[in-house]
Chain A
Amino acid sequence: MTVFVIRRLMQAFFVVFLMSVIVFFGVNIVGDPVYMFVSPDADQADIEAAIRRLGLDRPIWEQYFLFLKGAAQGNLGDSFVFGEPALKLILHHMPATLELAFSALFLSIVIGIPLGLFSGLYPDNPVSKGVMAGSILGFSLPTFWVGLMLILLFAVELGWLPSTGRGDTASIFGIQTSLATWDGIRHIFLPALNLSLLKISLAIRLTRAGVREAMGQDYVKYARAKGVSTSRIIFVHVMKNIMIPVVTVMGLEFGSLIGFSVVTETIFAWPGMGKLLIDAILQLDRPVVVAYLMIMVLFFVLINLVVDILYSILDPRVRLQDQGA
């Protein structure tokens, strides 16, 4: 296990390095940020001064080398727009995105798994058929449109829930979060629901498929032949088996929840990393874009690692050190 984790961390380091090359050079192809920051009537000397100030006068490979040198020391460059370290900006916006992503994950699990379980156990029930039809909608409707409809219905028409912002935040373990106040929870509900809709559908389908498969297995019939109660068969024998694919997929999808939050955050004006990224792209704030992407890569690598470890805990047949590098 320890060997496995160390090996995976080394792989992660390599992946992050590779990504840094792609991201850094990729971002440098798009647009010229200098003209975003100098006034339109600036003369040539002003422009050149700005270029020097941003470090853009040096050759690209030298810029990259400086970036790497900084990155090794935990400095991903300063934002062109705010003049602050990009990393600090992102970390400042991260709790908002994480609480949104975690809330969405929570919703998809507490809504998706029970619905999937029910429709898997009673596939011919009209409710199950309704749930399955709903999950198709959840998969196919575009997130931004659903977000707008949610705002229209719950915020504009009914006026039940607020449509923008985080609301009041309070501190839990030193982290400012909306989840600590009632007003914050009211604010987070709509965006979290919007973000989780796709994952709820995914959880429903995964759980249902798993339950239907497991119920036909010999070990279920055998458990019945032992006189084991139906609830124990469902919640111990079946659930433990279907949690393997569900945890794997939902875990891996957590990364995409953070990624997808870009759309949801934009619609609900949620002050998270996604909104920061969109603003940074529009303003060609290269260091922020690069830093965001680097952190996302790190996130994905870490999530994959956690999922692998969880997987080995859930499925006794999996032994991590057996896997090749």
Chain B
Amino acid sequence: MTAVLEVSGLKTHFFTHAGVVKAVDGVDFSVNKGEVMGLVGESGSGKSITGFSIIGLIDQPGRIVEGAIRFNGDDIAGAPEETLKSIRGNRISMIFQDPMMTLNPVLRIDTQMMEAILAHEAMPKRQAWERCRDALGLVGIPSPEERLRAYPHQLSGGMRQRVSIAIAFLNKPDLIIADEPTTALDVTIQAQIIYEAQKLTKQTGTAMIWITHDLAVVAGLADRISVMYAGKIVEQGETDDVIDRPLHPYTVGLLGSVPTANNRGERLFQIEGMTPNMLALPKGCAFSPRCGFASEACQVPPPVEQVASRELRCYHPQSQVAAE
């Protein structure tokens, strides 16, 4: 399979008055054509910044300090704004978290959809409008002509997120970065949105990076999962492997805190402590202060190790725990 996107050694740092925040600190992964990769982590783990780094939307005081982002073979890390602009929304599109905030409240849906086409391709407005109408139909919006004339506030949250998905697929991109697209929605709508996104990726062969803090969401959706902690990917592998046999203690903890039918009525597992202060990360493994298995060795940052088909940053793989 050919990789649509190859990220290697990506470091995005923010130079604040209080110090340098290493939001993304040496991230490697690749996404193949038609593949869905789940990028999982807590708030502040750097998963969204990773997504924004890829499309070059990192604002001051942040910037990509190191690493390569090869998209269809070309390194687009630090590419000129004009190049990035022609890629954004065209070859790589993005779905944001909160559809209430991302659609402009004073512009009609058709305006906001058509501009995504017309920014990249010159065509008669009528033709662009028809493409928008068809796209809305594709994501299961009834009477799309009417919805196109509506303003965002006239649509429900789920409907708005469907519009965002339709916009993301408008130009048949090679890659879609979905940044917590279901977090702001209630659970039934969440399931529908995931279904639509999954259906469309299958149909179009578009690769997707699904950023979320919810392992349960990506378990059924992603082909591969990357777990991020404090700016680094700590575990990466096939979804089934990661879910069934998590190796990293952090992944184990995350999985343990997902409610399932088996642990009904029991207290959910909780990872002790708080997410680390990104300005003062612990020495060595950033997870070690919260980890029950930490040892002397963890004072030195663990390198990436290949364990079976998986990549791992840990001295204490937890296969025996998962076997319980």
Contacts and interface: CB of A to CB of B under 8 A. Distances in A.
B204 interface: no
Contacts of A241: 104-106
A225 B105 CA distance: 17
B87 A227 contact: yes
Contact of A219 (B55, B102, B108, B153): B102
Interface string A185-226: 000000000000000000000000000000001110111111
Interface of B: 55, 57, 85-90, 93-94, 96, 98, 101-108, 111, 115-116, 119-120, 151, 153, 167
6 contacts: A219-B102, A225-B93, A225-B96, A226-B116, A228-B89, A316-B106
A226 B93 CA distance: 7
Interface of A: 217-219, 221-229, 232, 236-237, 240-241, 244, 314-317
Given A232-B115, A316-B151, A227 B85 contact: yes
Nearest to A222: B102
A241 B98 CA distance: 19
Contacts of B55: 225
Given A218-B98, A226-B88, A232-B115, A237 B104 contact: yes
Nearest to B104: A219
Given A225-B93, A229-B119, A219 B88 contact: no
B104 A223 contact: yes
Given A219-B101, A225-B55, A229-B119, 5 more contacts: A218-B101, A221-B96, A227-B119, A228-B116, A314-B106
A226 B116 CA distance: 5
A227 B56 CA distance: 11
Contact of B106 (A218, A223, A224, A315): A315
Contacts of B90: 227
A218 B112 CA distance: 14
Most chain A CB neighbours (cut-off 10 Å) among B98, B102, B106: B106
A232 B112 CA distance: 11
A210 B271 CA distance: 42
